[in-house]
Chains A and B, each alone.
Chain A
Amino acid sequence: MTIGRREFIAGLGSLTLLGSPIFNARAARLKKKNLVIVMLRGGMDGLTAIQPNDRRMEEVRPDILVTGTKKLTSDFNVHPRLNSFLSCWKKGKAAVVHATSIPYTLRSHFDGQNLMESGGHTPYADKTGWLGRGIEASELGSLAVSLPMPLILRGNLNPDNYYPTWMNLPTKDEMRLINSSYTKGSALAETMERVRNRPVAMMQRVDDNDAHVLARVAAQELKREDGPRVAVFDIGGFDTHAAQGGEDGEHGERLADYDKVLKALREGLGQAFDDTLVLTLTEFGRKVEQNGGYGTEHGYGTAILMAGGLLKEAQIYADWPGLKTKHLFEKQDLNATIDARSVYCSAMSYCFDVDFKTMKTNAFFGDDLEDLSGRLFKA
């Protein structure tokens, strides 16, 4: 399947870049490390992406067991559609945190997706996102590049957003006139102010609307020393209640979408891929047992796929809970033994050069999270 840019906006999701085009003082002193979050909406099944070598899998998933998996370690295999991921793994530039999840167990997509972006405990209670708060804590000026502003990037200081368009953009003079109709101090006027302060490069129409070009654009922006430091991709369709399939199924197709993003980033970033971390994020995993429709229901524990040259090594990092019924969460789901937010908090602390405790306090309400930087990322 080729992904047109339009589909990228509509179906597969969108791309968001964040960072400062105009260098601020702090950013100038730091080595630039990029953090890319790929949101996988619908509930990514960690057991399909990174399958444990466990007989139990054949018993509970007779019709959707993934065949043709490739070996990662003696205990885990990777889905055959994750080619770029595997290729990164072989170079020590991919790793997995398994049996992990955000601390949410109630199985609603909307609540779960809200929490995976807000980083909190009560759905819809927080109006800002953990990444937005993390960036704010790091005092890195920010620019988001996306059509709708995802919750994950909202901070108390709203980031700017940008997304290429084919349309003719208004001139400065036109905007000055239009702005005169906006109530001073209103959200509308503030938003207009951001538009008016844009660099010229962002006020030009873009004719090419191919998704591959867009993915490369993201890489080009991240690669620039004074470019954005954070990008967020948004891929949907992981909610495979039916026809989840094995090797060629729907879940595999979605994993392949992720893999394409990874491939484009890796190629486009070139050397800068070594200064980059790419992490996946999802609202929950899926039940261990298949359902009547050759799919799976909403579950709990899942996996975080990590890629990039900032990783310490190719490893499956897990405190593996086991798949026997007595080991499962509510007797049905892979348990989560690592709070996924520990991984994200560590990644932000590491990439933005802010100490873990400060990051935890600012981005995750001071929750009891563990600093995993030393175990997951390069010293």
Chain B
Amino acid sequence: MKLDFYRKIGYGLRLEDDIPADPIKWAEKQVEKPAPLTWPGHIPSAKELLDHRAVFVYQDRKVIRKKYKDDRKAYKNAKDQLRYQTGERYFKSLETVIRQHAAVKGDAPVFERIWHFWCNHFAISEKDMLAQWNTGAYQREIIRPNICGNFTDLVKKVTTSWTMIHHLDNSQSISPNSKWGKNNRKRGRPATVNENHARELLELHTVSPAAGYTQKDVVSLSYIMAGWENPHSKKREECNPVKFNVNKHEPGDHKVLGKRFKQRGLSPKSKLIDCIEYLCAHPETPKFICRKLVRHFVCDEPTDAMVQPLIDAWQETKGDLPTVYKALIKVVYDNTGVEKKFLNPETWLLQCVRIAGLNWPPSPEIMEYDFKSKPRREARQPDFYMRELGHDLLAPSQPNGWPETEAEWMSPELLIRRLSFAANFANDNKIGKFFDYAKAAEKNFDDTENVRKYLKKAKDIDFYSNPKRIGQALFSSEWMLKV
């Protein structure tokens, strides 16, 4: 039957869902094109959020610090007001809600799982308040619409996005022989490139260290990337749309991983485009990414045999992602019940919600915000919950994102968070109280007999006489944590 498959590739089946006649087709259909977001409330655009950020950073850096420099209390008040006015305490939680709503209410859970994978692959780490306004919108507008096309196009979009450029400091690059660089040097000022973005483009986003690039390659790529910036302005600071500034760009040809990149046509922009195409076509790129995909869904240590079908699909189609996903789906299906994966906190949480129909995430009414005072507790809860589970979605501590293996998620404290959370969630949730967990279990586990026995045992214990406690027992069980 392979009922576990729906949790290995998605978030499990809801009580009202029919068991699909053809599980593979069911999954394949979801990855052909991006699914629409389901959140019925307002979904702010990246531009709208950048405007909020612009107000915040300008006021914060240039106005209120000076205005209230002698009055700490007034400064603090003004800063709080500024936070409310710009949604600084609000949008991160709203992004969590928008994301999780699509996962639990939408009809394309497989697509959502894959979207989450890419959000983590092209992670934006905790830096300079990006999570407060920009990261969520970047995931919705840059990553989400581009994960059902070609990988190369996705990398192009990500690399030249405002959020990634800010995250990895590419605006700071002034290459030594650029117009501005020469000027700087004349005045005795440094003219150097920031290597951060180039290094991550190689190490984390495309070829990985397995390609054997050197520090020279990193510098060369930094030269190619120099000029892609978030232009600075007086009133908006860095909050302006991405531009290519030829005056900071290093003229001439640059060699990366053995290939020389020359300007084609009128703009040296073409060098980065060509270089991304080259990196994406490099044989190490599909090897690295396909293994990571299998690791994410199937098991911590994938065998070559599990990864090869994805690499083949990639190479045959030159990186057509839906084709790769379809190969992945088959591998996941074949390994359902054979290989198990310890789920990360969010995937586990969303599975609890979806299979038990829990009342989550909060409604648009609860998420309404007046931008005048501190957002209410219920509206901040989604963000708060994820942090308490040790999975602060929009703010991993490093650009390599959240860990993908059991060893990194398995610790007494992280486990106890899940157990506590399961109890709190099942207890507090209005729907969870009256839910028929046994029925949901029959739909979602291949080990039906043992799950049934376990739930019966829970029911027979005194302190589980209250049916809502059955939810706690189920959510905390190995069947839910590992699939």
Contact = CB atoms under 8 A, between A and B. Distances in A.
A297 interface: yes
Interface stretch (B135-143, B148-156, B404-412): B404-412
A177 B461 contact: yes
A167 B478 contact: no
Given A62-B189, A292-B173, A10 B395 contact: yes
B411 A9 contact: no
Contact of B172 (A147, A175, A183, A295): A295
A237 B192 CA distance: 21
B14 interface: no
Interface stretch (B25-33, B35-43, B193-201, B266-274): B193-201
A161 B413 contact: yes
Contact of A108 (B199, B414, B421, B476): B199
B406 A187 contact: yes
B174 to A, nearest CB: 4
Given A170-B416, A178-B476, A297-B192, A148 B388 contact: no
A10 B388 CA distance: 10
Interface in B165-189: 169, 171-174, 181, 184, 188-189
B13 interface: no
Interface stretch (A188-196, A225-233, A338-346, A355-363): A188-196
Contacts of A198: 412
B394 to A, nearest CB: 10
B419 A291 contact: no
Interface in B441-483: 454, 457-458, 461, 463-464, 472-473, 476-479, 481-482
Contacts of A194: 412
A146 B397 CA distance: 15
A290 B190 contact: yes
Nearest to A5: B387
Given A62-B189, A167-B421, A170-B420, A6 B387 contact: yes
Nearest to A197: B412
Contacts of B364: none
B85 interface: no
A198 B413 CA distance: 11
A192 B397 contact: no
A70 interface: no
Contacts of A146: 413
A74 interface: no
A178 B192 contact: no
Given A175-B419, A195-B412, A107 B195 contact: yes
A379 to B, nearest CB: 39
A289 interface: yes
Interface in A168-218: 168-171, 173-175, 177-178, 180-183, 186-188, 191-192, 194-195, 198
A178 B421 CA distance: 14
A365 interface: no
Nearest to A9: B387
Contacts of A252: none
B215 interface: yes
B172 A242 contact: yes
Interface string A284-311: 0000011111010110000000000000
Contacts of B413: 145-147, 161-163
A71 interface: no
Contacts of A168: 420, 423-424
B170 to A, nearest CB: 10
B319 to A, nearest CB: 25
Interface string A18-43: 00000000000000000000000100
A11 interface: yes
B476 A167 contact: no
Interface string A235-251: 01101011000000000
Given A13-B397, A236-B397, A241-B172, A174 B416 contact: no
Nearest to B172: A293
A175 B472 CA distance: 11
Contacts of A237: 127
B412 to A, nearest CB: 5
A160 B412 contact: yes
A318 interface: no
Contacts of A220: none
Report the contact-size class of chain A (Cβ under 8 Å from the partner). 35 or more
A175 B173 CA distance: 54
Contact of B478 (A145, A173, A182, A195): A182
B233 to A, nearest CB: 16
A51 interface: no
Given A11-B126, A174-B463, A241-B169, A165 B388 contact: yes
Given A191-B412, A291-B190, A297-B192, A167 B173 contact: no
Nearest to A10: B392
B415 interface: yes
B194 A297 contact: yes
A372 to B, nearest CB: 31
A113 interface: yes
A177 B457 contact: yes
Interface in B418-444: 419-421, 423-424
B477 A181 contact: yes
Contacts of B189: 62, 292
B133 interface: no
Nearest to A147: B390
A121 interface: no
A297 to B, nearest CB: 7
A239 B306 CA distance: 38
Nearest to B188: A62
Interface in A55-94: 62
A106 interface: yes
Given A147-B414, A177-B458, A181-B479, A292 B191 contact: yes
B473 A178 contact: yes
A195 B417 contact: no
B397 to A, nearest CB: 6
Given A191-B411, A195-B416, A291 B172 contact: yes
Contacts of A191: 410-412, 415
B411 A149 contact: yes
A109 interface: yes
Contacts of A62: 188-189
B398 interface: yes
A188 B420 contact: no
Contact of B415 (A13, A192, A292, A293): A192
Contacts of A173: 461, 463
Contacts of A110: 203, 398-400
Contacts of A298: 195
24 contacts: A6-B384, A10-B126, A10-B395, A11-B395, A41-B398, A145-B413, A147-B390, A147-B417, A165-B388, A167-B417, A170-B476, A177-B457, A180-B454, A187-B342, A191-B412, A195-B416, A198-B412, A242-B172, A291-B172, A291-B190, A291-B194, A292-B192, A292-B194, A293-B169
10 closest A-B pairs by beta carbon, nearest first, are A293-B172, A292-B174, A167-B420, A181-B477, A241-B169, A149-B411, A178-B476, A194-B412, A10-B392, A161-B413
Interface of B: 126-127, 169, 171-174, 181, 184, 188-192, 194-196, 199, 203, 215, 342, 384, 387-388, 390, 392, 395, 397-400, 406-408, 410-417, 419-421, 423-424, 454, 457-458, 461, 463-464, 472-473, 476-479, 481-482
